[in-house]
């Protein structure tokens, strides 16, 4: 089968139509640089739309003592000392300007009666510094950015799946992909690429990501181009994801449910947080509650379907409808259950990739000339635990910085070296997969990856489990050559799933190998065989392919920031 091939050329190609990709695209267009933005799912429905709670910036609208330095100190403390201090400085210092840009684009923030942007507590912040738009902040952010990009007439192709970055002699010159609706091939030539293609949390069975998002594409595209992955094992698990329906397993039940007085019980009816944090109980930190729920389930005190109960039915109905409308709506829509009268069955769910593609802190450039990586695809800000509300601000700050760097790079380029061999290699890979008529089912193998990661690389890990996980992933990988891909009248989703599978396998391997290498417990990473934090492992793990891991030292925290680092109480503060 031979598909039509579309040749496209631009100065900067942005891969990803989520918050980070759109922010970069807008900066490029405003700067007068030619840009195309592509994505593999509808731009109005990118993963970013799911973000609920808010965006951090030390605007000091509520607490005048707040400062970017304190925001930096809180971020570094929460990271268990694995965040890159310079990245933290860039984000926290640039945060206020990014919020002002959003105001300029028309974002509707919640405001106080005198017009100030409202800010609330979120997670381990010293002050109220999370700006928000109800509990639909991500949706409003995405709406604002899409509207601004449309006004700037930025070409946005949101049905183009990128399968390969095109590189010649360590220099980027474009990307190859196909249209998920009609199969048209795309050979896109570009001086620079900004990769904004999200994280890898969909490789677990329960995840707050939806079907075809966060399948690890950023890892695969970057590694294949010669880039490296930093700290893939550092994945944040949220304590409460729905158990069913199966195809929505992991959908988030907001931490507001616990904040409002929700009670967690195991199948024996025990209020199990008594065992893990008797003082704070359900208001304990996210990693502790996730660990508690995980341990109850693992030790046989979970429900038959592998969950625990989160109960808000003792609260007044009016309080639930007023304070937890999204939770009520979600459970009603997905399960036809009324949380005002019955408990919710939940389990920990993979939520956020704190590691990602290796980047430089100054502009998120990489080892590949002309390649920049931003948003959840990148790494450096969060270390071993993400401060709630920091991912949206990161994608705005670095979206702008990387865009300007890419624009400068493109403007300074005197010639673009292309490679016909690289393009035909990318085309052949797509054609080979299209011609696959083996006996293995892609969906089944995807499911096998997710089962393996859930069973052996979840909230708590150990050497034996991780090794078993690695050997299962190797087995799944060996079956990929025998898959069947059947595009039909409904489109090329099957081909997209095959590439998703390849990416997921690679992301799983990176995660398992680094989880094995990190022989300690730190933040989100719990090793039952190494329960202590090991000061010698206060390093970032950098993965450059199977079996290749190096330890990268973490930068020194400047004294003006370290002086402000302290333990922050999280009581009554919530984080998504
Ligand atoms: C339920 C929930 C609540 C959250 N709440 C908050 C919050 O309150 N505050 C906060 O700071 N963070 C929050 N987060 C995290 C935050 O939403 C994400 O980290 C952020 O939106 C990621 O944005 P992004 O642009 O990096 O990636 P995404 O929004 O994931 O976008 C990735 C883009 O890349 C495209 N893509 C991927 N692969 C390919 C490919 N191969 N070819 C072409 N295109 C591709 C996708 O189609 C998409 O357009 C929350 C997350 C969830 C799930």
Q: Which residue of 376, 380, 501 sits with most ligand 1 atoms within 8 Å of its CB, as the best mutation to test the pocket?
A: 376
Active site residues: 238, 258
Which atom of ligand 1 is found nearest the CA of 389? 11
Estimate the crossing angle of helix 390-412 against helix 85-105, to 10 degrees. Answer: 90
Q: Give residue 153 CA to ligand 1 midpoint distance, Å.
A: 23
Which atom of ligand 1 is found nearest the CA of 377? 26
User: 418-440: buried (b, 16+ CB within 10 Å) or exposed (e) per residue?
Assistant: eeeebbeebbebbeebbebeeeb
Other CB atoms within a 10 A radius of the CB of residue 122 amount to 25
Q: Give residue 562 CA to ligand 1 midpoint distance, Å.
A: 31
The answer, yes or no, to whether any atom of ligand 1 lies below 6 A from the CB of 46, is yes
Return per-residue pLDDT of the chain as tens, 576 residues.
567 999 999 999 999 999 999 999 999 999 999 999 999 999 999 999 999 888 999 999 999 999 999 999 999 998 999 999 999 999 999 999 999 999 999 999 999 999 999 998 877 788 999 999 877 899 999 999 999 999 999 999 999 999 999 999 999 999 999 999 999 999 999 999 999 999 999 999 999 999 889 999 999 999 999 999 999 999 999 999 999 998 888 999 988 788 788 999 999 999 999 999 898 888 787 778 899 999 999 999 999 999 999 999 999 999 898 878 888 999 999 999 999 999 999 999 999 999 999 999 999 999 999 999 999 999 999 999 988 899 999 999 999 999 999 999 999 999 989 999 999 999 999 999 999 999 999 999 999 999 999 999 999 999 999 999 999 999 999 999 999 998 887 789 999 999 999 999 999 999 999 999 999 999 999 999 999 999 999 999 999 999 999 999 999 999 999 999 977 655 555 555
Pair of tokens at residue 564: 């402000």
Which ranges of 193-270 would DSSP assign to H, the alpha helix? Answer: 217-225, 256-259
Residue 526 belongs to what H/E stretch?
Answer: strand 526-527
Nearest CA to ligand 1 atom 13: 51
Q: Report angle CA 155, 157, 159 to the nearest 5 degrees.
A: 170
Nearest CA to ligand 1 atom 10: 389
Q: Are 437 and 425 in contact (CB under 8 A)?
A: no
Nearest CA to ligand 1 atom 37: 197
Nearest CA to ligand 1 atom 21: 48
Cα gap 264→32, rounded to integer Å? 54
The answer, yes or no, to whether any atom of ligand 1 lies below 6 A from the CB of 15, is yes
The answer, yes or no, to whether any atom of ligand 1 lies below 6 A from the CB of 48, is yes
Give counts: helices (H), strands (E), the chain.
16, 19
What is 201-212 written as a DSSP string?
Answer: GGGSSSBSS-TT
pTM: 0.95
Which atom of ligand 1 is found nearest the CA of 375? 26
The answer, yes or no, to whether any atom of ligand 1 lies below 6 A from the CB of 50, is yes
């Amino acid at each position: 089968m031979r598909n039509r091939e579309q040749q496209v050329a631009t100065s900067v190609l942005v891969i990803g139509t989520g918050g980070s990709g759109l922010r970069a695209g807008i900066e490029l267009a405003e700067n007068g640089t030619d840009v195309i933005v592509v994505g593999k799912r509808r731009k109005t429905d990118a993963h970013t739309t799911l973000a609920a709670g808010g965006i951090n910036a030390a605007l000091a609208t509520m607490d005048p003592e707040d400062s970017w330095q304190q925001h930096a100190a809180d971020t570094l403390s929460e990271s268990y000392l694995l965040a890159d201090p310079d990245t933290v400085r860039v984000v926290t210092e640039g945060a206020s300007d990014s919020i002002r840009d959003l105001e300029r684009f028309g974002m509707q923030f919640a405001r106080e009666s005198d017009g100030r942007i409202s800010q609330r507590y979120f997670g381990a912040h010293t002050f109220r510094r999370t700006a928000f738009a109800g509990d639909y902040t991500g949706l409003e952010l995405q709406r604002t950015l899409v509207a601004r990009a449309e006004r700037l007439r930025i070409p946005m192709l949101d049905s183009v799946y990128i399968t390969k970055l095109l590189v010649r002699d360590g220099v980027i010159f474009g990307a190859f992909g196909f249209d998920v609706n009609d199969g048209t091939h795309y050979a896109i030539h570009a001086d620079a690429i900004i990769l904004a293609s999200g994280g890898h949390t969909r490789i677990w069975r329960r995840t707050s990501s939806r079907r075809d998002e966060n399948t690890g594409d950023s890892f695969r595209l970057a590694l294949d181009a010669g880039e490296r992955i930093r700290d893939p094992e550092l994945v944040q698990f949220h304590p409460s994801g729905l158990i069913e329906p199966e195809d929505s397993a992991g959908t988030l039940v907001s931490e507001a449910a616990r904040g409002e007085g929700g009670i967690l019980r195991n199948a024996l009816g025990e209020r199990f947080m008594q065992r893990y944090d008797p003082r704070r109980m359900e208001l304990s930190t996210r990693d502790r509650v996730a660990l508690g729920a995980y341990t109850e389930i693992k030790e046989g005190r979970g429900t038959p379907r592998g969950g625990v109960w989160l109960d808000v039915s003792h609260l007044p109905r009016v309080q639930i409808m007023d304070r937890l409308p999204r939770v009520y709506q979600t459970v009603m829509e997905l399960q036809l259950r009324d949380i005002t009268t019955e408990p919710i069955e939940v389990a920990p769910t993979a939520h956020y990739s704190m590691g990602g593609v290796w980047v430089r802190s100054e502009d998120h450039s990489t080892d590949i000339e002309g390649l920049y990586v931003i948003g959840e695809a990148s790494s450096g800000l969060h270390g071993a635990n993400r401060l709630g509300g920091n991912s949206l601000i990161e994608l705005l700050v670095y979206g702008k910085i990387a865009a300007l760097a890419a624009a400068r790079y493109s403007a300074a380029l005197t010639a673009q070296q292309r490679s016909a061999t690289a393009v035909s290699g990318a085309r052949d890979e797509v054609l080979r997969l299209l011609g696959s008529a083996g006996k293995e089912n892609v969906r089944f193998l995807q499911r096998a990856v997710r089962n393996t990661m859930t069973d052996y690389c979840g909230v708590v890990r150990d050497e034996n489990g991780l090794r078993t996980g690695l050997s299962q992933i190797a087995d799944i990988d060996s079956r990929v050559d025998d898959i069947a891909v059947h595009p039909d009248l409904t489109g090329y989703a099957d081909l997209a799933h095959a590439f998703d599978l390849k990416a997921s396998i690679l992301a799983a391997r990176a995660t398992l190998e680094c989880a094995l290498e990190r022989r300690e417990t730190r933040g989100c990473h719990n090793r039952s065989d190494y329960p202590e934090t090991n000061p010698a492992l206060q390093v970032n793990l950098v993965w450059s392919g199977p079996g290749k891991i190096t330890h990268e030292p973490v930068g020194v925290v400047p004294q003006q920031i370290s002086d402000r680092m302290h333990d922050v109480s999280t009581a009554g503060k919530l984080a998504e």
